[in-house]
């Protein structure tokens, strides 16, 4: 069934310019991924009728993959109703043709409905004040989807309908997921393929809150390779597949599986992870854990009850966008120029300045581009996928650059600042934390991207100030800044 649909879709991709498809956030699921997603559903048993929803159906590959599976597993007396939403007029004839072909080939009874309106906006009237007042014909047994990936304005009509989950300008993909949860019957399942970005960060917090108030995660699949999921489409996003169930019964564990790409589902690795390790805290961060080491890291760190904020500390982003301040940058420490810290200055655990590179100083013209010369822990914001560690930090002490009341920092570094200054001992203690394998592992499970985001760092569980000081003392004693040594110190505090 599916081969012909994929062939037709390829022909559509060839003739339709990418710029046009982009307007609709349109890219297509591969045949292997579609079959894999369809395989994840627990099909309700002994039902005469099943309803399927595929919103943002494109050429119909996902609902046809599900129909292909149902056609093999259900008796001929079962009838299946497929509802597709698709609002790009140029793909509608192909969607119609593909669905008709699949229906004709299926041994079971199939009813088709194509809704050509906007999936979110057209349901506004149903939503009203009561999100649960939707008539039954808009609730489905099985929902499958690859939603459009597209940022829209914060006053776009879709954002207005689902303002409950928006924080600034939303992305259509999580509005589709929200509406999907809304359209699920109680106890029913939804399988979606989306970017991983929703699993952490403040921007998606209201969406996560909505998701976990109405449903539970029941399966996660991750791809190791970023560019091998939508192969013909050059989508460079960390992608994940998740299944959720509309229920309040939280499972004890859920399977998280991994494959290298979308072609090798035969080489799948699966591990059952305790649910409370995956979803935790008031911000509902989703930790995408893939092995025992990560489970251990999460369990250990989640025991800590502080955050940087309640210790009077804060991770901030560097102040200077260097290419916007080119005229202020200098190579030499001329009059009125102050040191500008770049990520290249973070070396072997310390900030080593100067490096003799261009633009290492900045003329102090504006307060917003300067920070007091105090003790800081600098942390790189960007690392490459190939680098072993995501968290890479360097100790900076005020006395490294005497004679400068102010310094500055490029926006590709973050730094931990304290309202009333941070002692050297606490800086060393923070270094133990941020240079440990435990925290690096924790952070990776929290954020799939290579960027170190200050909002997430500010919400990481932290030990008490007393523990940080005592770890700092221990490190100061030996001055061995290696990861192994930091691990020993941290673990003696975590495990006692
Ligand atoms: C990422 S594509 C996925 C297509 C198909 N489901 C697949 O997996 O190959 C998303 C689809 O949603 C459609 N779309 C975008 N915005 C929509 C909206 N507001 N309502 C309905 N469909 C929409 C796009 O035209 C596009 O075909």
Top-confidence residue, 223 or 414 = 414
For the Cβ of 173 lying below 6 angstroms from any atom of ligand 1, the answer is: no
What is the average pLDDT score of the chain? Answer: 91
Domain assignment of residue 298, yes or no: no
Domain assignment of residue 301, yes or no: no
Residues 162 and 222 grouped into a single domain: yes
* pLDDT (0 to 100) of residue 261: 82
For the Cβ of 195 lying below 6 angstroms from any atom of ligand 1, the answer is: no
For the Cβ of 123 lying below 6 angstroms from any atom of ligand 1, the answer is: no
For the Cβ of 61 lying below 6 angstroms from any atom of ligand 1, the answer is: yes
- Does position 23 have pLDDT exceeding 90, yes or no? no
Residues 246 and 352 grouped into a single domain: no
User: Which one of 260, 290, 320 terminates a domain?
Assistant: 290
Region 2-8: what's the mean pLDDT? 89
Residues 240 and 195 grouped into a single domain: yes
Residues 315 and 265 grouped into a single domain: no
CB within 8 A of 297, min separation 6: which ones?
A: 437, 438, 439, 441, 442, 445
* pLDDT (0 to 100) of residue 323: 86
Q: How far is CA 238 from CA 115, 208, 235, 258, 443, in A?
A: 30, 18, 9, 13, 15
- Tokens representing 424? 């050297």
Q: How confident is the model at residue 202 (pLDDT cuts 50, 70, 90)?
A: confident
**Lowest mean pLDDT, pick from 54-58, 137-141, 305-309:** 137-141
- Determine the Cα–Cα distance for residues 396 and 427; give it in Å rounded to an integer: 8
- Determine the Cα–Cα distance for residues 94 and 11; give it in Å rounded to an integer: 10
- Does position 105 have pLDDT exceeding 90, yes or no? yes
Atom index in ligand 1 nearest the CA of residue 120 equals 19
Region 263-290: what's the mean pLDDT? 89
- Tokens representing 371? 């920070």
313-317, strands of its sheet edge to edge: 313-317, 413-418, 376-380, 393-396, 350-351, 346-347
Distance 31 CA to ligand 1 centre (A): 16
Look up the CATH number of the domain holding residue 437: 3.90.220.20
Angle at which helices 61-73 and 2-15 cross, to 10° = 180
- Under a CB-based contact definition with an 8 Å cutoff, are residues 308 and 314 in contact? yes
- Chain centroid offset of residue 449 CA: 7
For the Cβ of 115 lying below 6 angstroms from any atom of ligand 1, the answer is: no
- Chain centroid offset of residue 69 CA: 30
Domain assignment of residue 372, yes or no: yes
Closest alpha carbon to 136 in 144, 126, 145, 146: 126
- Under a CB-based contact definition with an 8 Å cutoff, are residues 204 and 285 in contact? no
**Lowest mean pLDDT, pick from 56-65, 90-99, 329-338, 443-452:** 443-452
CB within 8 A of 303, min separation 6: which ones?
A: 461, 494
Residues 453 and 488 grouped into a single domain: yes
For the Cβ of 242 lying below 6 angstroms from any atom of ligand 1, the answer is: no
Q: How far apart are the first and last CA of the chain?
A: 59
- Does position 371 have pLDDT exceeding 50, yes or no? yes
Q: Give the number of domains in the chain.
A: 2
For the Cβ of 194 lying below 6 angstroms from any atom of ligand 1, the answer is: no
Q: How confident is the model at residue 206 (pLDDT cuts 50, 70, 90)?
A: very high
Distance 391 CA to ligand 1 centre (A): 36
Residues 174 and 265 grouped into a single domain: yes
- Tokens representing 390? 């995501």
CB within 8 A of 378, min separation 6: which ones?
A: 341, 345, 346, 351, 393, 394, 395, 396, 409, 413, 414, 415
- Tokens representing 90? 């140029």
Q: Which residue's CA is the nearest one to ligand 1's atom 26? A: 26
* pLDDT (0 to 100) of residue 214: 96
Residues 52 and 132 grouped into a single domain: yes
Residues 315 and 276 grouped into a single domain: no
Closest alpha carbon to 241 in 34, 10, 70: 34
DSSP-assigned letters across all residues of 61-82:
HHHHHHHHHHHHHS-TT-EEEE
Domain assignment of residue 299, yes or no: no
Domain assignment of residue 302, yes or no: no
Query: DSSP state, 44?
Result: P
Our mutation pick for probing the ligand 1 site, out of 12, 56, 83, 237, counting the most ligand atoms within 8 A of Cβ, is 56
Atom index in ligand 1 nearest the CA of residue 119 equals 20
pLDDT tens digits for range 209-229: 999 999 999 999 998 875 555
* pLDDT (0 to 100) of residue 132: 44
Distance 269 CA to ligand 1 centre (A): 30
Q: How confident is the model at residue 131 (pLDDT cuts 50, 70, 90)?
A: very low
User: Which one of 223, 257, 290 terminates a domain?
Assistant: 290
Give the domain extent around 165: 2-290
Distance 86 CA to ligand 1 centre (A): 6
User: Which one of 290, 317, 341 terminates a domain?
Assistant: 290
Residues 104 and 193 grouped into a single domain: yes
Domain assignment of residue 197, yes or no: yes
pLDDT tens digits for range 163-175: 999 988 999 999 9
Closest alpha carbon to 362 in 317, 319, 415, 316: 319
Region 433-440: what's the mean pLDDT? 96
Region 59-75: what's the mean pLDDT? 96
* pLDDT (0 to 100) of residue 204: 93
Residue 265 φ then ψ, to 5°: -65, -15
For the Cβ of 346 lying below 6 angstroms from any atom of ligand 1, the answer is: no
Domain assignment of residue 378, yes or no: yes
- Does position 2 have pLDDT exceeding 70, yes or no? yes
Region 341-349: what's the mean pLDDT? 96
Look up the CATH number of the domain holding residue 229: 3.40.50.150
**Lowest mean pLDDT, pick from 29-43, 170-184, 292-306:** 292-306
Domain assignment of residue 92, yes or no: yes
For the Cβ of 120 lying below 6 angstroms from any atom of ligand 1, the answer is: yes
* pLDDT (0 to 100) of residue 241: 97
Helix, coil or strand: residue 10: helix
Residues 64 and 137 grouped into a single domain: yes
Residues 231 and 359 grouped into a single domain: no
Q: How confident is the model at residue 381 (pLDDT cuts 50, 70, 90)?
A: very high
- Determine the Cα–Cα distance for residues 57 and 80; give it in Å rounded to an integer: 17
Length of the chain (residues): 496
Region 4-12: what's the mean pLDDT? 88
Residues 282 and 315 grouped into a single domain: no
């Amino acid at each position: 069934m599916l081969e012909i649909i994929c062939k037709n879709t390829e022909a559509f991709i060839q003739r339709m310019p990418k710029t046009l498809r982009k307007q609709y956030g349109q890219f297509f699921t591969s045949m292997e991924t579609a079959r894999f997603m369809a395989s994840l559903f627990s099909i309700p048993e002994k039902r005469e009728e099943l309803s399927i929803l595929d919103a943002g159906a494109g050429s119909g590959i996902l609902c046809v993959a599900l129909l292909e599976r149902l056609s093999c597993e259900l008796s001929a007396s079962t009838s299946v109703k497929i509802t597709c939403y698709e609002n790009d007029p140029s793909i509608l004839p192909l969607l119609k043709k593909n669905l008709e072909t699949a229906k004709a080939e299926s041994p079971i009874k199939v009813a088709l409905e194509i809704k050509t309106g906007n999936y979110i906006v057209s349901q506004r009237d149903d939503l009203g004040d009561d999100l649960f007042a939707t008539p039954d014909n808009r609730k489905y047994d099985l929902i499958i989807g690859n939603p459009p990936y597209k940022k829209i304005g914060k006053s776009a009509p879709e954002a207005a309908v689902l303002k409950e989950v928006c924080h600034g300008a939303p992305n259509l993909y999580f509005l589709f997921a929200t509406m999907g949860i809304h359209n699920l019957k109680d106890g029913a399942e939804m399988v979606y393929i989306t970017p991983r970005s929703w699993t952490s960060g403040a921007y998606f917090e209201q969406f996560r809150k909505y998701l976990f108030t109405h449903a539970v995660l029941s399966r996660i699949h991750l791809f190791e390779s970023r560019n091998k999921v939508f192969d013909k489409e050059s989508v460079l996003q960390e992608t994940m597949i998740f299944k959720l169930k509309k229920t309040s019964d939280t499972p004890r564990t859920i399977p998280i599986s991994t494959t290298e790409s979308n072609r090798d589902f035969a080489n799948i690795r699966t591990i059952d992870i305790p649910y409370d390790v995956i979803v935790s805290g008031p911000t509902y961060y989703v930790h995408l854990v893939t092995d025992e080491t990560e489970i251990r890291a999460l369990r250990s760190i989640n025991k800590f009850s502080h955050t940087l904020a309640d210790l009077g500390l804060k991770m901030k982003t560097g102040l200077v966008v260097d290419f916007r301040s080119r005229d202020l940058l200098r190579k030499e420490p001329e009059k009125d120029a102050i040191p500008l810290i770049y990520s290249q200055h973070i070396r072997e655990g310390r900030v080593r300045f100067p490096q003799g590179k261009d633009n290492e100083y900045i003329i102090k013209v504006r307060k917003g581009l300067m920070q007091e010369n105090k003790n800081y822990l600098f942390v790189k914001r960007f690392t490459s996928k190939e680098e072993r560690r995501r968290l890479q930090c360097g100790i900076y002490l005020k006395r490294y650059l005497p004679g400068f009341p102010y310094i500055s920092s490029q926006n590709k570094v973050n730094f931990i600042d304290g309202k009333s200054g941070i002692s050297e001992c606490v800086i060393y203690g923070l270094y133990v934390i941020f240079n440990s394998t435990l925290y690096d592992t924790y952070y990776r499970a929290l954020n799939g991207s290579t960027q170190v985001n200050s909002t997430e760092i500010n919400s990481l569980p932290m030990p008490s100030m007393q523990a940080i000081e005592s770890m700092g003392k221990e490190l100061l004693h030996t001055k061995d800044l290696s990861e192994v040594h930091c691990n020993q110190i941290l673990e003696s505090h975590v495990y006692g």
